[in-house]
Amino acid sequence: MKTIITSIAIFICSLLSAQTQYEQGMGKAMQLWGEGNNTEAVATFERIASVEKTNWLPNYYIAFISTIEVFGAKDKTKIPALLTKAQDAIDNATVISPNNPEIMVVQAMLYTAILIQDPMTNGQKYGGLAMEQYNKALAIDPKNPRAMFSKAEFEIGGAKYWKTDTKPMCEAIAKSIELFANFKPETPFHPNWGADRAQQALISCK
């Protein structure tokens, strides 16, 4: 009897603390990221990833933050290491959660980040790869607002250069705003970004 009670207690206790620790950790990491402290945020996500070996979210955020950092990097020497870090995190997340449209969107963004390093050389290949990821993501989940919006945003760049019609992309952005409005993340820590950027993009469309 005593052993049973002890085991139940330990089980509940580990469950309780794990749950709270996970939530605390994720909350803290998200907060650090919100404050612009990317290094600390990534470090926290890395710690969470070392415990939560079946949860794709910590690696997702490591990849996402590192990719965004490449776009804004002033210190160009850091870029190769950031690209590697983002790709590793995407690979880890994909092993845990294959066929995940959210991860595909980040992969497409990472390809775009590689593309802009040297558009003349990388344009052909990485442009194609990014489109492939967006198309795959939308095939799995046609209602994913981030896939819909990011794809349109990616295509708009090319269309402006070729002076071809940007109307279809603007329509897609408008549609993504509807999807954003109806989107409910599974947990507070699931990806939920993009609505405000889509609004801005729509304004510059007009």
Partner 1 sequence: MKTFYTFTLLLLACISNAQQTISGTVVDEKNKAVVGANVFIDGTYDGASTDEKGNFNFKTTATGNQLLVVSFLSYETIKVSIEVEKFQNQTVKLKESVNTLDAVVITAGTFSAGEKSRVSVLKPLDIVTTAGSAGNIIAALQTLPGTQNVGEDGRLFVRGGEADETQTFVDGIRVAQPYGATTNNLPTRGRFSPFLFSGISFSTGGYSAEYGEALSSVLLLNTQDEADQNKTDISLMTVGLGLSNTQKWKKSSLSVNTAYIDLAPYQAAIPQDVDWNKPFQSLSGETVYRYNFANGIFKAYAAFDASRFDLNQEDINQPDKVRVNLRNNNFYFNSSYKGNFSGNWQIFTGLSYGYGQNKIGIDDNDLKNAEHASHLKLKFTKKLSDKVKLNFGTDYFISKFDEDYNTTFKSGYDSNIAAVYTEADIFFSKKFAAKVGVRVSTNDYINENGFSPRASLAYKVSKNSQFAFAYGNFEQTPRQEYLKYSNDFKTEKAAHYILNYQYAKGNRTLRTEVYYKGYSDLVKYDTENVQFDSQFSNDGQGYAKGLDVFWRDGNSIKYLEYWISYSYIDTKRDYKNYTAEVTPSFVSTHSLSLVTKYWINDWKSQVGFTQQFSSGRPFNNPNEAAFMNGKTKSYSSLSFNWAYLLSQQKILYFSVSNILGTQNIFGYNYADTQNGNGVYDRKAIIPTADRFFFIGFFWTISDNKKDNQLKNL
Q: Which residues are near partner 1 by CB under 8 A?
A: 1-2, 5-6, 8-10, 12-14, 16-17, 21-22, 24-25, 39-40, 42-43, 46-48, 50-51, 77-78, 80-82, 84-85, 120-122, 124-125, 127-129, 131-132, 135, 158, 162, 164
Taking the least distance from each CB to partner 1, the nearer of 10 and 140 is 10
Dihedral class, residue 7 (left if φ above 0, else alpha if ψ from -120 to 50, else beta): alpha
Is the CB of 162 or the CB of 204 nearer to partner 1?
162
Separation CA 181–CA 176 (nearest Å): 9
Closest approach, Cβ 22 to partner 1, in A, equals 8
Least gap, CB of 182 to partner 1 (angstroms) = 28
Task: Give the nearest distance from C-beta 81 to partner 1 in angstroms.
Answer: 4
Judged on CB neighbours under 10 Å (0-12, 13-18, 19+), 78 is middle
Q: Considering the complex, what minimum distance in angstroms separates the CB of residue 113 from partner 1? A: 14
Nearer to partner 1, 19 or 200 (CB): 19
What whole-number distance in Å separates Cα of residue 196 and Cα of residue 61? 19
CA–CA separation, 108 and 127 (whole Å): 9
Token digits of residue 202:
């729509």
